[in-house]
Amino acid sequence: MALTGKQVRQLRSLAHHLDPIVYIGRGDVNGGVVSQAEEALEAHELIKCSVQDGSDLTCREAAEQLAELTSAEVVQVIGRRFALYRESSRKDIQKIKLV
């Protein structure tokens, strides 16, 4: 699902106030990071991630790898942090209504 410019702006404004949930460190994007991101995306739809100093990946590389492995969309990359979005299949959470 490709996001429109208006949807990306909406998600960026929502992600601004979030704290990072997923941290990518020395192990880079591995199975544990992917499963943690999957759970967080199912529960929240929009998550913020942080790349630590020990990682060999740039923030953009980590964002693209994690987005590909979780079937999510990269919303924003700033400095050492990035935001991902994926619509949740759960019915018991409040979903983000995209414009």
Q: Is residue 15 assigned to a domain? A: yes
How many angstroms separate the most distant Cα atoms in the chain?
38
**What is the span of the domain harbouring residue 62?**
5-85
Q: Which pLDDT belongs to residue 2?
A: 84
Count CB neighbours of 25 within 10 A: 13
Q: Is 1 a residue whose pLDDT tops 80? A: no
- Give me the percent of the chain exceeding a pLDDT of 90: 90
Q: Is residue 96 assigned to a domain? A: no
Q: Is residue 95 assigned to a domain? A: no
Q: Is 38 a residue whose pLDDT tops 80? A: yes
Q: What is the CATH number of the domain that holds 44?
A: 3.30.110.60
Lookup: tokens for 50: 């942080």
Mean local confidence (pLDDT), 37-58: 95
Q: Is residue 91 assigned to a domain? A: no
Contacts of 78 (CB under 8 A, 6+ apart): none
H-run or E-run covering 6: helix 5-15
Predicted model pTM: 0.93
- Per-residue pLDDT tens digits for 17-33: 999 999 999 989 999 99
Domain count, the chain: 1
